[in-house]
Structure 1
Amino acid sequence: MTESTPTTVSNIGVVMFSVTDQDAALAFYTGKLGFEVRADSAFGENGEMRWLEVAPPGSRTRLALNPPMGGQPGGGMIGVETADVTAEHARLSAVGGVDPSEPMSSPGTPYMFMVQDPDGNTVAVVEVPAG
């Protein structure tokens, strides 16, 4: 067995989803899911690219919404946490334009449900007991 040097990585800071239209993705995550904008800036030689980050209020981890880099958008998955899956499911069901799956739980897994953004990226809403 090979010895390895301990990692210096201490946090997942940014998760990246590829999206077809950054403005449409921004509208979904802020208008439907209730996330806030953490970064929205132009970059590149002529400012032709855009770095866009959103996150649930109070979250350390951010979600970057990027145009596809040589591939198709969608296919990514993240999990977000709530103390009350039932209440969040009811809220998203009432918002319109969001089609959450039915909440579910299996032995060894938390209570959760899934939603998909317009590009097919999946957001798992997972219940974390208060405490």
Structure 2
Amino acid sequence: MIAVHRVNVWVHDQQVAAEFWTGKVGFELRADATFPELGGFRWLTVGPPGQPGFELVLMAIPEPPVVTPEQTELIRAVTSQGLGGAIFLATDDVRRDHALLRARGVEFTEEPEPRPYGLDAGFRDPSGNQVRLTQTREDGDTT
């Protein structure tokens, strides 16, 4: 069987991203290792408590010589504008978790709204990545 284990998320500042995902969203720090032999490359992952088989890789936007300066700026611009895709978080109670995250300092771009698939709210991480907090119809009341 094939399963999703890790998903890469481009971040502008790995420390700021780690603090956001652990301190505000409530994820656990899973790995934080720096490799001098790879030019100081930092492997940084976080994941939701109770879901040990899944991690977000908080990957620094690559710079030369890995990519060209133009590619670095393109990735940075796309990420900043929230155009690099979205992270979908599942919950059994969007309103409860919206209030909890807001109290921790998460700034929402969209309040909880009924959608055809359930109840949904949106926020962005400090790098601009879009995050959706979703309660699907199967999870309970969506009114």
TM bucket, shorter chain: 0.7 to 0.9
Q: 1-side partners of 2:15 and 2:85: how far apart?
A: 18
Q: Deviations over 1:84-104 (max 9, x none)?
A: 1010011112122x2122112
Aligned to 2:58: 65
- Return the alpha-carbon distance in structure 2 between the equivalents of residues 95 and 37 of structure 1: 17
Question: Going by fraction, where is helix more abundant, 1 or 2?
Answer: 2
2:17 is aligned with 1:25? yes
Structure 2 residue aligned with 1:103: 112
Q: Is the 8 Å Cα contact of residues 17 and 76 (structure 1) preserved in structure 2?
A: no
Gap runs ≥5 in structure 1: 1-7
2:128 aligned residue (107, 120, 124) = 120
* Percent of aligned pairs sharing the same letter: 39
Q: As a proportion of its length, which structure holds more strand? A: 2
Paired position in structure 2 for 1:84 = 93
Structure 2 residue corresponding to 1:48, chosen from 40, 48, 63: 40
Using the TM superposition, give the Cα deviation of residue 110 of structure 1 relative to its aligned residue in structure 2, in angstroms.
2.3
For structure 2, which runs of at least 5 residues remain unmatched after alignment?
none
Shift of 1:76: 3.7
Q: TM-score, normalised by structure 1?
A: 0.82
The alignment's TM-score, normalised by the length of structure 2, stands at 0.76
Shift of 1:52: 0.4
CA RMSD, 1 decimal: 1.7
